[in-house]
A and B are shown apart, each in its own frame.
Chain A
Amino acid sequence: MGLTLGVVAAAGLSLLVGIQPVTPADVVLALTAPAGRPADAVVLHLRVPRTAAGLLAGAGLGLAGAVAQGLTRNPLAGPEVLGVNGGAALAGVVAIALVGVGPLGGYVWFCFAGAALALGAVLAIASAGRDGATPVKIAMAGAAVSALLFSLTSAIVLRDHDLFERFRFWLVGSLTRADLPIVLQAVPFLAAGTVLALALTRPLDAAALGDDAARSIGARPALLRGSAIAAVVVLAGTATAVAGPVGFVGLVVPHAARALAGAANVRVLPLSALLGALVLLLADVVGRVVLRPEEVQVGVTAAVLGAPVFLYLLRRRRVGGL
């Protein structure tokens, strides 16, 4: 409950804070009785889409991270570590730059395909060998695949100035280019992913007991694995389509959720969605004020806030086999 209020407050901040000054009264007026005032345009055309994009992308990443960590029982399995963000970004760039697919409704499918391929590759490589997919192997396979995807993406984007100019903010992870049509198109995809993820909470809890135990109480591990991977792909792929490849939110947020609510996925998953939205919005707001009058992209603030947490997690937990 407190967290929901926190998200609402963060959304309020996100509407208020920015380069053009806007008062709370302006926001209320713009939302209830827009009349073409300059502040109305700022609120309706800039702040509202940006805030909505932050809410959706943050919730998607947080939820995707929680499902990925629940499925792999691996504390380092964030979507970015699994190569999902990198795969979605490369596929998005290919769709827009090479194939010429325009609106989100078109290229989001490419993002899904890219995310799925990258995730499949990382999981397959990490599972090879006798000891299976340990956290170390997943992280390293993800890093190698991501490095490859990054250089291919750069190779495409660097081909000409216009392409580079269109992508250089998106590729860092940014909410500034979000507009309402894109956000609205993202809603059904994220909703589908969320429903699928939330339907998995109990099977994921059962699977935490091990495949045999899960099977004995009626769960089907293969089906669960397939649906969980689909949920991660749809959630993280849509988030990337909206906000670019933002890192660390999906990795770090589920840890915070577990610290607050214990290990049961029934609580961790919804909490991760809320926390993800909160963290991404706050990271974006911080990026708007920290170097005024210029903005820092949300992907950068998220990494600067998230990477130390990642290092802390490594230091505190003797992560599997370390």
Chain B
Amino acid sequence: MTATVRAGRVSLRVEPASVLLGAAAWTAAVAVALHAVTVGDYPMPLSTVLDTLAGHGTLLTYDVVVRNRLPRALVALLVGAALGSAGMVLQRIARNPLVSPDVIGVGAGASAGAVVVIVVAGAGATAVAAGALTGAVVASATVYAVAARGAAHRLVLIGIGVTALANAAASFLLTRSDRYAAKQAATWLVGDVAGRSWPDVLTVAAGLAIGAPVVLLLTRHLRLLELGDDVARSLDGRIGAARAALVAAAVALTALATAAAGPIAFVALVAPQIVRRVLGPRSAGVLPAAGVGALVVVSADLAARRLFSPDELPAGVLTAAVGAPVLLYLLVLVSRRSG
């Protein structure tokens, strides 16, 4: 079922099911995030949290809510949204559920770039973001250059090689830094939202500010690109530019999400898959994928905080534990379909 919304010259095809799923995922994600802000060593009721946000809190509640828990929850939400939408874009362009930014080496490239900056310069959020962006661009350019015009599977294999190379570079830097910097960088390499602060929120928000408009404006081309290169080109001669812009947006989203929280594993792979399972093969928008991504990361972080209390796990460990089996399941599924 499709409805068309018109506003002047712009018209938008809207799938009610997609909108419903998107809204539900976003509502759930925000609810989990709000709950996450209330729990911890210093639990407080939601009303106190809301009062504090409205500016009526004490110095203590302000410190706990605004300086600690809120940036963490926001980073989790935004990083999930960025990864989920980047994954959806790449999977649809490649027409292969296995092609997500972390599988094809973009996430590892971003991590390596960021670790270079952390260990060598010890610099702040902007520099780390620039490092991650550079690393992601280098990794995706390498993958693209080696893969040339190969099939999606080839892209994935080359991504594995590039990932190994980027991880080696990052681990090399870990061994050269002093133990505290190394531990900080190692925690970060697993992907974590603990201890994030406002500059990290700004980093991932910047990624969304760059990437989201491009993705939203060009979403309608995804449908065309899914038909394959030749058909797409015969229907629209300028489709190449749209595809390049979409890939660039996905790389930027992944890179800045990684700069803020490290390479939180498999979210970009899993979130679009959940959406496509729920909606069926016909329609799968980017906004629901962003919502599901946000929900996945926020929930993973909450679980990582609470399940092993008083110890905390990095959120990336939980998403890997959930995401790796999904990747394996998809692998079997894809081969069964093509076999």
Contact = CB atoms under 8 A, between A and B. Distances in A.
Contacts of B154: 314, 322
B174 A154 contact: no
B176 A147 contact: no
B98 A248 contact: no
Given A148-B320, A154-B189, A300-B171, A143 B146 contact: no
B176 A247 contact: no
Interface string B300-321: 0000000000010110110011
A41 interface: no
A11 B244 CA distance: 50
A140 B331 CA distance: 8
10 contacts: A125-B332, A145-B324, A145-B328, A168-B179, A174-B175, A296-B175, A297-B171, A297-B172, A300-B175, A322-B150
Interface stretch (B41-49, B160-168, B209-217): B160-168
B165 A304 contact: yes
Interface in B286-339: 311, 313-314, 316-317, 320-321, 324, 327-328, 331-332, 335-336, 338-339
A135 B62 CA distance: 55
B37 to A, nearest CB: 24
B160 A131 contact: no
A126 B171 CA distance: 28
Contact of A158 (B162, B167, B190): B190
Given A129-B335, A151-B265, A164-B179, A139 B160 contact: yes
A296 B169 CA distance: 10
A196 interface: no
Interface of A: 76, 81, 125-126, 128-131, 134, 136-137, 139-141, 143-145, 147-148, 150-152, 154-155, 157-159, 161, 164-165, 168-169, 171-172, 174, 247-248, 294, 296-297, 299-300, 303-304, 307-308, 310-311, 314-315, 319, 321-322
Contact of A143 (B163, B313, B314, B336): B163
Contact of B172 (A164, A172, A314, A319): A172
Contact of A159 (B146, B190, B311, B339): B311
Given A144-B324, A314-B158, A165 B179 contact: yes
B305 to A, nearest CB: 14
Contacts of B126: none
Return the 3 tightest CB-CB contacts between A and B, nearest first: A130-B339, A303-B168, A129-B335
A301 B172 CA distance: 9
Contact of B153 (A294, A315, A322): A322
Q: Do most interface residues of chain A lie in helix, strand or loop, or is the interface mixed?
A: helix
B333 to A, nearest CB: 8
Nearest to B167: A303
Given A131-B335, A152-B317, A172-B175, A144 B168 contact: no
Contacts of A174: 175
Contact of B164 (A152, A155, A307): A307
Contacts of B320: 147-148, 150-152
Given A130-B335, A136-B156, A322-B151, A303 B164 contact: yes
B90 interface: no
A300 B168 contact: yes
A296 B150 CA distance: 35
Interface stretch (B13-21, B63-71, B180-188, B197-205): B180-188
B103 interface: yes
B179 A311 contact: no
Interface of B: 98, 103, 146, 150-151, 153-154, 156-158, 160-165, 167-169, 171-172, 174-176, 179, 182-183, 186-187, 189-190, 265-266, 311, 313-314, 316-317, 320-321, 324, 327-328, 331-332, 335-336, 338-339
Contacts of A321: 153
B258 to A, nearest CB: 15
B144 to A, nearest CB: 12
B161 A307 contact: yes
B174 A168 contact: yes
Contacts of B317: 151-152, 154-155
A130 B336 contact: yes
Contacts of B266: 147
A299 B168 contact: yes
Given A154-B317, A172-B174, A314 B339 contact: no
**Which of A130, A155, A310, A314 has most B Cβ within 10 Å?**
A155
A138 B158 CA distance: 14
Nearest to A309: B161
A314 B171 contact: no
Nearest to B326: A144
Contact of B165 (A145, A158, A159, A303): A303
Contacts of B156: 136, 139-140
Contacts of A169: 175
B190 A172 contact: no
A307 to B, nearest CB: 4
A314 B150 CA distance: 11
Nearest to B187: A158
A50 to B, nearest CB: 16
B183 A144 contact: no
A126 B327 CA distance: 12
B332 A247 contact: no
Given A76-B157, A151-B314, A154-B186, 7 more contacts: A125-B328, A131-B339, A144-B328, A145-B324, A314-B146, A314-B154, A322-B151
B187 A311 contact: no
Given A151-B190, A155-B190, A303-B165, A141 B331 contact: yes
Contacts of B163: 143
A126 B46 CA distance: 48
A280 B328 CA distance: 32
**Which of A136, A140, A171 has most B Cβ within 10 Å?**
A140
Contact of A144 (B189, B331, B335): B331
